[in-house]
Amino acid sequence: MEKEIFKSLFQIVNFFNNPTHDINLLRKAGVKEDQNLLPIIVRVGMAKIINIGDLAKQIGKTHSSTSRQVDKFEKQGLLTTTYNSKDKRIREISLTDKGSELFELISEVRFDLFDQVLKELSFTEANKINESLSLLADILKKIDLDIKN
């Protein structure tokens, strides 16, 4: 059973990490295509505030590469960075108003795409998926905590 769960999870992760999907989503949103934009805007938007190191880990890039991308999006008025009050070496990132608008636009387009597919499911089926994904997310949080300890 574990192999089947892992295989399904792997397919889900690959779907969300596929840059082709990101580019198509940006096109549908009418946003300039930049393969680095969506992963950064979405992760910062979901986290509200995240530091460069954690963002780099999440997107699978180096600290310096991520820092350069953040600088680029900051110059475009999408992100703002501040230094952590306890450790001035840590840069924390958040969305500007313009970045929040972009995050909302991307979210709307993504939800519209998912809604088209989910409409084909019954309420019971959709609820079952929601409950299963919530359970899986809780399990993954526990695994993450175990790895950190």
Q: List, in order of start, the domains of the chain with CATH numbers.
A: 2-118 (1.10.10.10)
**pLDDT tens column, 60-110:** 999 999 999 999 999 999 999 999 889 888 999 999 999 999 999 999 998
* 8 Å CB contact between 29 and 105: yes
Q: Which residue has the higher pLDDT, 58 or 143?
A: 58
The predicted model gives 111-124 an average pLDDT of 91
pTM: 0.81
Q: Which residues contact 98 (CB under 8 A, 6 or more apart)?
A: 77, 78
Return the closest-CA partner of residue 73 out of 54, 56, 92, 95: 95
